Amino acid sequence: MTTTILPAGAPGPVTDRTVIGENLSLPLFRSISGVLAGHPYLKVVVDRTENTWHLLDTAVHPFHVNYIALRVLGMDLADLDSGLDAFNASVYMDPERRFLLGVLSLHTDEDTEGRERPFLVLETTEADTMNGLLLEEFYTFVRHRVDGRLPLLLKPANHGQEQELAAISDVRVPRILGHELFGNRTRTPLNPGEAVGRLRYFRTAEEYAAVAGDLGWSDIVAMPCLPDDIPRVAGFLNTSPGTPLSHTNVLASGWGIPNAIVRDLDRLVERDSLDGAWIRYRVQDDEISLVPLAHAPDLDAPTWHQQRIRMEPPLLEDVPALALHRLRRADHDRYGTKAANLGELHHILDSRSVDLTAFYGQPRPPRADLLGHLAARLGLSGATADGELRAAAADFVSGVIAAPEGIALPFALQHRFLTSSPAVQQGIGKLKMALELDAVDVLDALCLHLQHLIRNTPMPEDVTRQITLALPDGPAAGSRLVVRSSSNAEDLPGFSAAGVYDSITTVHGADELLDAVRQVWASLLSPRSVRLRHQAGISLDDTYMGVIIQHYVPADLGGVLVTCNPTRREDFRNVYLNCSPGSPETVVDGTTLPLQYLYNTVEGGGRTVALGSSGRDLPDTTRAGLAQLALAGRLLQSHFSDDEVDHPLDIEWLMTDQGDFRLVQIRPYAL
C-alpha cells in the first residue's frame, strides 16, 4: 500500500511508502528503509488481531507508537500524548498485547569463499518485556514473510529477553547477541564533534613518542590506543577497540573534540594519502567521516587558547585532617573536590533526608514527568505521595551503595610542606616566571626538577605527625593503603583533569605513606598538568592538592559508570557502565578493555554492549546488581548536579567479594 499524505505544516504532499501485508524482499527493504548507526533499517508492526504486518516508511513514521495510535487505531495526537505511558505499557509490556513492535536491520558478513552475504536482524525496543513465547511468535511471523534467501536472526534487546530465549532452541529461533553484532564494528563513535586539522597517524607508541612534543592544537592524532598524557589537539582517532569511558575520551568530551574508533584507517590512509594531510573530521551518532581537503586551510587558534577557567581561590588556613564523613561539598576549597564529594555522599547516605527524585521530576515532552516510572523501578505501586517516593529513593540508594571511609588532608598541609623548603620555593618561582613569559620550551625541565625536589624533600615533623595520627588505626605495618589525589583544579566547568593527577593504590606502612603523599603533591606540578592548566588560564598560585587516605578494599569487580549515554546525548533513559575484574583503575587507564553495558533507568532493563578483554558476560545475578547500581547513580545525579539535573555524573565504583558496592569517586561528567 502506498499513499500520499500531507503532514502538519508540510508545504506539499509527501509519499508514504508504508507497506501492509506484503512479503519483504531485499529490493523492497531498500526502498523504504532509513539508516541508523550506519545500517539500513525499517520499523515493523505485527498486528496479531488482523494477522498482518506493517512495514513503516521510516522517513514518514519515525515512531511505532504514533503510527499505531494515529494510523491504525484512529486516535488523535493530543489523546495519545495525554496517556502516552499507559499506551506504551499496552504495546511494550502487556503479555496479551495486540501489537508486536520491532526493527529489521540489514547487515553483511562473509561466506566461506570471502563473498559478502546480506542478512537481516530482528529486534524489539530495549524496554520491551516480551516473554519467550511472544519472541518466538514474533520471529516466526516475520520469518514466514521475509524472502527465504535472506538469513534472519533475532537479537535480544535486553538481558531479560536473553534469559527468556535461553529455554528456546536456537534452531527454532536463530539469534545473535548485541555484542556479537556490534562488538567488532569497523567504526564506532566515542565523542561527537567536528574538526579541521592535519592527520598525524602513528602505528606504534614508539612512533608517537618520537614526535609527541611537536604536536599542536591543529593536529588530529590517530593511533591504536591514545596515551593518557596526550596534549590538547584538534581530534582523536583510535584504530583499536576502546570505550567512551576511557580517560582519553573523557578528555575529548571535556575539550569538545571528535573521537572515534576507525579500525580500517590503514586502508583509508593508503587510499586517500591521509597521513600528514589536512582533513575535515566529523563524528556523529550514525556517521564518521574523514574528508581530505585540497589546500591547507587558514585556521585561527581555537578559543581555548584564550580560555580562562574561573575557580574559587583556595583557603589555606590551618585546618585539621578530617574523616571523610565529616566533610561536605562546601569543603572543596580546603580539601579538594574529590574529598568534598565523598563527604557529601556520606551525608546523603547517613541522613536520608536529601531529595534524590529531581531528575525524574523534570518534564520530558510530551510527559509532565517520569515519577511514575521511578515509582515502578522502586517497587511502589499505585498513587505515591512525594514524600513516600523521596523516602523510597533515599532508602534504595542507601541499600545499594556505601561510601568509603578514610581521611582527607587539607591544602594547608601541602602549603606548609612547600614553604618549608627554600629549594622548592625557588623552583616554584622559576616556574611562575616561565609561565608568565609563556616560555613553554623550558616548562618540562622546570616541572620535572620541581617534582624531584618534592619527592625527596623531608617532611616537616608537624606535617608528618598530622598525617600519621589522622589514620583511625594508625599506619600499621603491613596494612595496605590507597592514597588518592583531591585537587581544587579538577572537575571544573571546561576543565576535567581526568587522569592528570596521581593516585597510588599499593601503599604499606608509614614510610611508604609519606612517600605516596609527596608523590600525589608532586603530580600537581607534572609537565602535563601544568601545561593543561596554563592553557585554561588557571593560575599556579590558585592551584593546590588535597589528599585522601583510605584502607585498601579488595574488589572482585571495579568500574566506572556515567549517568548518560555518551554517544547519544539526547538519550535520557540510559546509564553507561563499564567494569573489569579488580580495581576501577584498569577501566579508565586502558590496561584492559572492559565489559560495557547500557542500563535503562526509566522503563528498566539492561543490555550488553561489549565483552571486552574477558570474552564472556557476567552472571545474571551480577548484572542485576549492576542495574541497581546504575539506578542509584541516576538518583545521586539529582543531588550532585544541583539545578542542572540533566548534567550527568562520572562515578568510579568497586564491588567487594560480598557483592557490596562502594563508590570511590563522584564528579561531573564532562559534556
pLDDT digits (tens, 9 = 90+) for 580-615: 987 777 676 666 789 999 999 999 999 999 998 888
Q: Is the dihedral of CA 247, 249, 252, 254 positive or negative?
A: negative
Asked if residue 610 belongs to a domain, the reply is yes
Read off the pLDDT of residues 98-131 as tens digits, 9 standing for 90 and up.
999 999 999 988 766 767 889 999 999 988 999 9
pLDDT in tens, 1-23: 444 333 434 444 568 999 999 99
Q: Where is the domain boundary, 176, 209, 226?
A: 176
Looking at the structure, tell me whether residues 293 and 399 fall in a common domain.
Answer: no
Whether the bond between 231 and the residue before it is cis, its omega within 30 degrees of 0, is no
Same domain, 247 and 167: no
Alpha-carbon gap, residue 138 to 156, rounded angstroms: 12
pLDDT attached to residue 247 = 81
Looking up residue 634, the CATH number of its domain turns out to be: 3.30.470.20
- Of the listed ranges 59-63, 260-264, 482-486, 497-501, the least confidently predicted one is 497-501
Domain contains 181: no
Q: How far is CA 197 from CA 216, 300, 302, 304, in A?
A: 10, 11, 12, 16
Greater pLDDT, 135 or 566: 135
Is residue 102 domain-shared with residue 67, that is, in the same domain?
A: yes
The rounded distance, in Å, linking the Cα atoms of 235 and 239 is 14
Assigned domain for 296 exists: yes
pLDDT in tens, 474-522: 545 568 899 999 999 988 877 878 788 999 988 988 889 999 999 999 9
| Residue 662 belongs to a domain | yes
- Residue 570 CA to its chain's centroid (Å): 13
Single-letter amino acid code for the residue at 377:
R
Query: Is the residue at 603 inside a domain?
Result: yes
Q: Which domain holds residue 625?
A: 553-671
Beta-bridge partners for 194:
282
Beta bridge partners of 36: 39
Residue 3's pLDDT is 42
Instruction: Please report whether residue 157 resides in a domain.
Output: yes
Asked, for residue 558, whether it belongs to a domain, the answer is yes
Q: Give this prediction's pTM.
A: 0.89
Tell me, yes or no, whether 130 and 211 share the same domain. no
Q: Are residues 116 and 205 in the same domain?
A: no
In a domain, 120, yes or no: yes
- 441 shares its domain with 336: yes
* CATH number of the CATH domain containing 499: 3.30.1490.20
The residues, ordered by sequence, that sit 6+ positions from 115 with a Cβ below 8 Å of its Cβ are none
* Residue 278 bridge partners (DSSP): 198
Using DSSP, state whether 109 is helix, strand or coil.
Answer: strand
Among 527, 548, 569, which residue terminates a domain?
A: 548
- Which of the listed ranges 112-126, 221-235, 451-465 does the model predict with the highest average pLDDT? 451-465
Listed residue (97, 83, 166) closest to 125, CA to CA: 97
User: Residue 114: helix, strand or coil by DSSP?
Assistant: coil
Q: What's the structural domain count of the chain? A: 4
Whether residues 124 and 204 share a domain: the answer is no
- Nearest to 594, CA basis, from 570, 626, 571: 626
Average pLDDT over residues 122-151: 95
Domain co-membership, 51 together with 24: yes
Q: Are residues 472 and 583 in the same domain?
A: no
Instruction: Give the percent of the chain with pLDDT over 90.
Output: 70
Do both 197 and 170 map to the same domain? no
Question: Cα separation of 5 and 505, whole Å?
Answer: 64
Instruction: Give the integer Cα–Cα distance in Å for 349 and 393.
Output: 11
Q: In what helix (H) or strand (E) does residue 565 lie, and over which residues does it extend?
A: none
**Which of 176, 205, 230 delimits the end of a domain?**
176
Q: What is the CATH number of the domain that holds 210?
A: 3.50.30.10
Helix axes 461-470, 509-523, angle to 10 degrees: 110
Q: Are residues 389 and 532 in the same domain?
A: yes
Residue 455 and residue 418: Cα distance in Å, rounded? 11
Please say whether the dihedral angle defined by the alpha carbons of residues 177, 183, 184 and 189, taken in this order, is positive or negative. positive
Whether residue 509 sits in one domain with residue 578: no
Tell me the CA distances in angstroms from 20 to 57, 119, 138, one per residue in order. Answer: 11, 22, 16
Question: Which phi and psi (to 5°) does residue 499 adopt?
Answer: 75, 5
pLDDT of residue 179: 87
